[in-house]
Amino acid sequence: MPLFVLPFPAIDPVLLSIGPFAIRWYALAYIAGILLGWVYARAIIRNERLWGGKAPLTVAQFDDFVLWVTLGIILGGRIGYVLFYNPAHFAAHPLEALQLWHGGMSFHGGFTGCVIAVMAFARKHKIPTLSLGDITCAVGPIGIFLGRLANFINGELWGRAADVPWAIVFPGAGSVPRHPSQLYEAVLEGLVLLIALAVLVRRGALRKPGFIIGAFAAIYAVARIVCEFFREPDAQLGFLWGGATMGQLLSIPLFLFGLFLMTYASRRRA
């Protein structure tokens, strides 16, 4: 056991309760991520310098898209969790799949849902699919960052046993000090990814439709694979092929998709 162990900050996952209704930090993270991403996206669309001219879609069109992508993230994230992480349990208890307030969302499922929302909205409104996807991915890390902080507040998705000075004993995880892997993910998958994409946007990446989507996928995949080495795998799955986790295995095709899309976008004329 390490010489120093940080106490877990006992923050109530429920911010406010009114009768049978409860406002949870986890839900607020999703709401705040969507709202802040919306504001950032509007700024990107308005900045003609980033596009080398007028953006291929309007602020009003993106305003209409927000509801579509919100549904895509929530439905895709939940369906992904049901299929990838606990199919046997939900097959036996199908109604629990609808109980979003009990947690259980998959990033890879949410990303897939987001892709479907982008393709459907772009086709319906006759706007460039890749450009809409670029904007969505450029702002997406905001929600990832806030979501990982909410995971930490909930004391869920904790890390593996550790002897580092910042190890934490999580409630429900026994007396073993563990990596605060949620915070690692918040930094790498959220802040670092957000900054990297912002730099690419400022350097003209939006003029190569699809490049930001590819960079988002590739950088996130690498960050997730690294963070999974510090995160305890889901109890119902454990370690899979070669000691890899489900998060790592799902990130491999995501990384390859990102490389393909960056290469494709780079070879196209701006």
pLDDT tens digits, residue range 156-208?
A: 889 999 989 899 999 888 889 999 999 999 999 999 999 999 999 999 999 99
Closest CA to 136 of 170, 107, 158, 111: 111
* Domain annotation covers residue 237: yes
Q: Are 165 and 75 in contact (CB under 8 A)?
A: no
Given a cut of 60, whether residue 3 has pLDDT beyond it is: no
The β-bridge partners of 219 are none
Output the pLDDT for position 49: 96
Mean pLDDT throughout 134-158?
93
Query: CA 266 to CA 250: how far, in whole Å?
Result: 25
Mean pLDDT throughout 14-33?
79
Query: CA 127 to CA 142: how far, in whole Å?
Result: 24
Confidence of residue 7 (pLDDT cuts 50, 70, 90): confident
Each residue's pLDDT tens digit, 87-127: 776 777 677 666 665 566 788 888 899 999 999 999 999 99
Query: CA 133 to CA 120: how far, in whole Å?
Result: 11
Output the pLDDT for position 33: 93
Q: What are phi and psi of 156, to 5 degrees?
A: -125, 165
Q: Are 225 and 243 in contact (CB under 8 A)?
A: no
* Domain annotation covers residue 5: no
* Domain annotation covers residue 2: no
Given a cut of 60, whether residue 72 has pLDDT beyond it is: yes
Output the pLDDT for position 101: 57
Output the pLDDT for position 37: 96
Averaged pLDDT of the chain: 88
Q: Which residue has the higher pLDDT, 95 or 216?
A: 216
Residues spanned by the domain of 155 = 14-267
- What percent of the chain stands above pLDDT 70? 91
Q: How far is CA 88 from the centre of its chain?
A: 24
Output the pLDDT for position 237: 74
Q: Where are the alpha helices (DSSP H) in the chain?
A: 25-46, 48-51, 59-84, 87-92, 107-125, 129-154, 181-185, 193-202, 211-228, 246-267
* Domain annotation covers residue 77: yes
Global pTM value: 0.88
* Domain annotation covers residue 8: no
Say how many domains are in the chain.
Answer: 1
* Domain annotation covers residue 9: no
